[in-house]
Structure formats: structure tokens, C-alpha cells
Amino acid sequence: MQIATALSTDHALLTAGITAGLHRLLGPTTTGGGVRAVGFLRWAIVPFREMDAMGDRILAGKTVVITGASAGIGAEAARRLACLGASVVVVGRSPEKTAAVARQVGGEPLVADFTRLSDVRRLADTLLVRYPCIDVLANNAGVVLTRRSRTEDGHDVMFQVNYLAPFLLTNLLLDRLTTVGRARVITTSSNGHRFGSIDLDDLEGAGKRSELLRYGMTKLQNILFTRELARRTRGSGLTAMAFHPGVIAATDINREAPLVAALVRYRLLGGLSTLAEGAEPLVHLATMPDPEAVNGGYFHRLTPNGPVHRQATDDKLATRLWERTTELLGTPV
């Protein structure tokens, strides 16, 4: 009966659940028939639970803000969370794409270009005026670049879009997030963070020659930001999690990096995930019943405590990174 209900509610979710389960069942990361069977159940049942919950619209009355939601996994997550009853605020760079997704989910489109910190501040002001309660803030906007360029604020573009802008947005909304309801801050990181490293004297990665190394640095910064945010807000009701969505070809994140896009397309960075699979961790973290148990944690897709760079669990580094970031912004946030 539960599966039948899920099928009638959202056939796409069922397909995504089966696909994810079979991928883990047959994938090279498991050995032995028993382990493969457990892997299948573990990875497939979570989406099934979300499908079953859809009948109850468990996010009805909740407000979810998703950045980078005009395409890719952000747009896919917006559609799925709207099906769960959430009021979704669709934040994107393209006015046309952002409006199109907002129409699909019945939400409000807000346009913001994260290469301009003035846009981030204006976005925060708008959210604070229009939404007395923000239940989920999904920091999902991101980009990979092969050529270095600087924003009008004077920062490396990839560093600003991937890390500095979501850091600023979260902090500008922090009073609202910590005083009204039990909010969640979910940040899209990447398994690519393991290629990165953080130097507090070179936050923007000027000394890193490869775009993959600089991208990995920003994704590692996302994980440490999540860890420190959880520490600083502990006891407030806010919870923070970061996740790796998988390697996804059908996304705009590599729009300015043809080399990286080619590596992804030809599976040289690992097996590919669909958009539906890529959105699963975000949906899961937005709906899981006890986020406090994983507060500050990093998920490798749906698996908590996934493999991480050695710096990703350094609490002192997380604190110093936060402090250095506020200094870089030039004003307390």
C-alpha cells in the first residue's frame, strides 16, 4: 500500500530510489553478496521513506530557501521539496531560468548573482522582510572555473561564489535562523574537497595552480564552515550539515570549465549520478527526523561521516577560518 501510494504520488522518486539502490548494490565499493544486499536496502529505502512521507506532505507550512535553484540539483530539489508541501524560494542567477523553476514549484523567484556581494546582502534583506520564518536554507550555488578572474568585490570568483557568498548569506540570516523555529542550514560540498587544502594565509587559493585544487579548497571550506556553524549555534535549535551530491553531468556547475565537464562526462572522476540522485541528499537532510544527531556533519551522498580530507575535522582550523573570513569581509557579520 505504501509503495502504491508513492507510485501514484511521484513516480520519479520511485525510479530514483531504485536506481540509487541498484547502483550501490552493483557498484565496486562493496564486496560480498551479503554486504551488497545490505547496501541495496540502505541506499534504496531512504528514498522510499521520503516517498511514503509525501502522502502526508511533511513540509507543509515550512519555508525552504534554495540557492543555485534555477537548474541542476537545486531545481530538482526544489521540485521534490515542493511536492512534500514546502513553500520554496527559488534563488538563481538567471531571471528566466529562476522564474521558470519557481512557476513549476509554485514558489517565489529571487534573482541574485553571487559574484556580487551586494546581491547577497540585498537577497538577505528581501528574505528577512518577506519570510518571518526560514526553516531550511540550502546553500547550493556553486561554480567551477578554469580561468582565474576576480569579482567586483576584489575576490576570486570561484572562492566568492562557492564559499564567501554562502558564508555571508547565512550570517546575515543567522538571527532569524536561530530564533524562529528549528532551522536547518544545508550546504552542498563535494567529494572533490579531498583534493583541496586550506592555508589561512591564502584563503582564495592564489598559490594553487589547478582549478580542481582551488575548487576542492572551496568545498573543504564549506565543510569547515558547516562544522563551525554547528559549534557556534549549538543549543539554539539550528542544525547544519554538508553533503556530496555525487558526480553529475547534467548540471550547470561546470558551465565555465569545459575540461572539468569533459572529465565528468567521460567518467574520469568516477561514476555518474542523475539529477534525481544528486538531489536525494539535500531532500533527505531537509526531512530527516533527527538532524541534531548529525549536526555539523558531512554526508557522502546519503552516508554520514563520509571520507574526508584530514583538515575537515580540525576544529581549531574551522574556528580560525571563520574568523579570517569575517576579517576578509571587512565587517562583523
215 catalytic residue (yes or no): yes
Cβ atoms 135, 183 nearer than 8 A: yes
C-alpha to C-alpha distances, 16 to 7, 43, 47, 98, 249, nearest whole angstrom:
12, 11, 8, 24, 16
Which one of the listed residues 131, 163, 215, 266 is annotated catalytic?
A: 215
Amino acid letter for position 159: F
Catalytic residue set: 215
